[in-house]
Amino acid sequence: MSYPYQIKSFEGYKEAYEQSVKNPEGFWADIASHFHWRRRWGSVLNWNFTEPKIEWFKGAKLNITENCLDRHLDDAGNRPAIIWEPNDPEEHHRVITYKDLYLKVCQFANVLKNNGVKKGDRVCIYMGMIPELAIAVLACARIGAIHSVVFGGFSAQSIADRLYDAQAEYIITCDGAYRGAKDIPLKSVIDDALIGNRTVKRVIVATRTRTAVSMIKGRDVWWEDEIKKVETLGMTDCPAEEMDAEDPLFILYTSGSTGKPKGVVHACAGYMIYTNYTFVNVFNYQPGEIHFCTADIGWITGHSYIVYGPLSAGGTSLMFEGVPTWPDAGRFWDIIDKYKVNILYTAPTAIRSLMGFGLGPLQGKKLDSLRILGTVGEPINEEAWHWYDEHIGKRKCPIVDTWWQTETGGVLISNLAGITPAKPSWATLPMPGVQPLLVDENGHEIPDDAADEHGIISGNLCIKAPWPSTIRTTYGDHERCRKNYFSTYPNLYFTGDGALRDADGNYRITGRVDDVLNVSGHRIGTAEVENAINMHAGVVESAVVGYPHDIKGQGIYAYVIYNGTHGDETLTRKDILQTVTRIIGAIAKPDKIQFVSGLPKTRSGKIMRRILRKIAEGETANLGDTTTLLDPGIVEEIKNGKL
C-alpha cells in the first residue's frame, strides 16, 4: 500500500502546511479520497468553537473497520496486522495476519450481536494487553457499538463511575491479566464494580490467567463458549454497519480539573483520517515495517497508534502484554531484536526508568533494525533525549517528540521522522491542518516582538481551528465540553498546557497550567485525588500538587489535615494510599504525604495551590504575597515540615 499523502521533504512539509491552512477543506478532502467510503460527503467542514459544533465530512457514510481490515485483504491479507508478545518471554508469541484479524473481528462482532449488542450501545472493555482486546475494539466498531476501554489499573469504583456515566449495558473483560510479576484479577474487579449496578446486561469473559472467577448465571458468559456458538451456526462473516461520518466511534475517559472524569467522544470519519495521516507522516511509515508502540490500549496512544492508525495504513503493529523491566530491564531491547522492530514509540518515563539501570541491559543487543524512535505522553528532558539517541538509536534514528492529548485524537505537534528538523526536548512544528497560537491570561495572542533575547515567547497554548479528530463532545454533557475546552478563551480550543515558541516556529510544551498533573504521561486531576484522600475516615481536608520527579516527570505531593488518632504516621500514610488505590487505582497514589494542621487559604476559603506547589518543588524563599491569607503563619509550619 502506498501513501500518496506522505510528506517526503521539508519543502513538502511547508507546502502541505500552507495548503492546509489556506484551504483546509480541499486539503483534507484530497487525503480522504484515498479511503473507502460507502457514500461521499456533502460538505467537508462545518464548525464554530462557541457551541462548540464541529462536523467533518458531513453526510458521508463509512465503517472504520472496512478501512482497517477489508480493504487490505486482497493485497496484504497475509501480512501480519498484529504481532503479540506475551508477558512471559517463554510463552509462545502470536502473529495475526490481516486475513486472520478480519475473521476474528467478524466472529466476535457476531458474538456481540448474539448477546444483544446493537448500533449505538456502549460497551465497556476492561482487559489485559492481549490480541482479544484489539479484536473487541474492532468488533464494536464493526457493528456500530461505542467502545469505552478502561485501563486495567483502574479500581472497581473508577469502573463503576465510568459505567454509570456511559450508561454501558455490556462489558468485555478477562478472568485476569499478567503484568510483569503481577497477576491482576480483572473479573473480580468488575464484579466489585457491578455491585448495585442495574444497567449491565451481559459480561463476556475471555480466558487468560485461568484464575478462579465467579460467573453469575444469566449475566456472565465465556468468550470461548460464545465463539463456539457462532462457529456452530456458521456465522463467519459480519457485514460492517453503515455509520455516519459524525457517529461516535468511542468514549475514552480522561481526568480533568474537577473530581469527575470526563468521557471524551471521537467521531468515526475525522478520527480515522487523522490517525492514519499522522501515523504515516510522523513516523515516515513504510509498508512492511514493524511499529512497536509500548502504550496500553486503555489510553488514547494505544487507540490511535496500536490499533486504528497502523491498521488503517495496512501496517504491522506490535502489541506487548508486559512491562519494560520484567523479567529484567533488557525486555524492550530483546523484543526489538526478536522481531526486527523498525519504529519504537514509548514514554519518557520508560526511558528515564531504563536509564537508571545503566548500560548493562543493553549488552549484546543489536538494535540495528531500528529506523525511527518516538516519545509520547509528556515532554522529554534533554538528558533522556540524548541517552535515547545515543544508546538506543546509535545516533542514526530520528527521534519524534510528539505532543497531543486524549481530546485531540492524534499528534498535533511533532517533527516528522527524517523529514523536518528535531530539536532536543522540543515538540517542534505543528502538523498540517493544526494552527497553534500562544495567548496571555486574557486570551490576547502574544506577538513575536514580545520575544526574549533568545527569540523565545511563552504563553498558554491554544488552537484556532479544528483538525479532523478534534473532540466532538463529552459524553452526556456537552456543556462540560464547552466549558473545559472552548470557554476559557473565546473562539479557541484551550489545551490546558503552557508552551514556548522559538524564532523558527518550534514549540516546546512546558506543562499543565490548570489543576491537572502529568504523571508518567497520564493525566490525573488534583481534585480527583483530593476527593479520594478525603474519603479516608480520619482526613478533614487535603490539597494535592505536582512536583518534579526524576522518573515520572511529575510526582504527586499531598498536604493532608488529619484528625484521626495518628498513632503511627507511616501506617496512616499507608492507609491513605490504600484508600486512593481503592477509589481511583494505584496510578493515582501520592508519592509524598505531608500532615499539616491547616492549608494556606484566602479569606474567601480558596486554597493557594501556588504556594503549596512552590514548597513541594523546594522553592521556599520566594513564595510571593502571603498577606491575603487567612492565617499566614500556616505557611511557615508547612515549609518546616516539608518532606
Residue type for position 30: D
Does residue 419 surpass a pLDDT of 70? yes
Q: pLDDT per residue over 93-143, tens digit each?
A: 999 999 999 999 999 999 999 999 999 999 999 999 999 999 999 999 999
Contact 123, 145 (CB under 8 A): yes
Give per-residue burial for 206-223: e unless 16+ CB within 10 Å, then b: bebbebebeeeeeebbeb
Residue range 446-472: mean pLDDT, rounded: 93
pLDDT band for position 451 (cuts 50, 70, 90): confident
Q: pLDDT per residue over 15-45, tens digit each?
A: 999 999 999 999 999 999 999 999 999 999 9
Does residue 587 surpass a pLDDT of 90? no
Does residue 610 surpass a pLDDT of 90? no
Higher pLDDT, 353 or 62: 62
Residue type for position 24: P
Query: Which whole-number Å values give the CA distances from 245 to 139, 270, 411, 451, 468, in the listed order?
Result: 18, 7, 21, 42, 11
pLDDT, position 565: 66
pLDDT, position 627: 64
Query: Which whole-number Å values give the CA distances from 96 to 107, 235, 306, in the listed order?
Result: 15, 20, 14
Does residue 251 surpass a pLDDT of 80? yes
pLDDT, position 515: 76
Least confident of 306-315, 409-418, 560-569: 560-569
Does residue 89 surpass a pLDDT of 70? yes
In what order do the strands lie in the sheet containing 202-206? 220-222, 202-206, 170-174, 122-126, 146-149, 248-254, 262-267, 473-474
pLDDT, position 68: 98
pLDDT band for position 486 (cuts 50, 70, 90): very high
Residue range 369-373: mean pLDDT, rounded: 98
Nearest of 67, 74, 68 to residue 33 by alpha carbon? 67
Query: Exposure of 233 by Cβ count < 10 A (0-12 exposed, 13-18 middle, 19+ buried)?
Result: exposed
Q: pLDDT per residue over 162-200, tens digit each?
A: 999 999 999 999 999 999 999 999 999 999 999 999 999
Contacts of 580 (CB under 8 A, 6+ apart): 529, 532, 533, 588, 589, 590
Tallying the residues shown for the chain, one arrives at 643
pLDDT band for position 202 (cuts 50, 70, 90): very high
Nearest of 301, 310, 365, 300 to residue 332 by alpha carbon? 365
Greatest pairwise CA separation for the chain in angstroms: 76
pLDDT, position 285: 98
Question: What is the separation, in whole angstroms, between the first and last Cα of the chain?
Answer: 56
pTM score over 0.85: yes
Does residue 520 surpass a pLDDT of 80? yes
- Give me the chain's average pLDDT, please: 94
Least confident of 282-286, 306-310, 589-593, 598-602: 598-602
Q: Which CATH number fits domain 516-640: 3.30.300.30, 3.30.2020.10, 3.40.50.150, 3.40.50.300?
A: 3.30.300.30
Does residue 420 surpass a pLDDT of 80? yes
Does residue 566 surpass a pLDDT of 80? no
pLDDT, position 613: 87
- Helix (H/G/I), strand (E/B), else coil: 362: helix
Helix axes of 526-534 and 569-583: crossing angle, nearest 10 degrees: 120
Does residue 605 surpass a pLDDT of 70? no
Contact 458, 486 (CB under 8 A): no
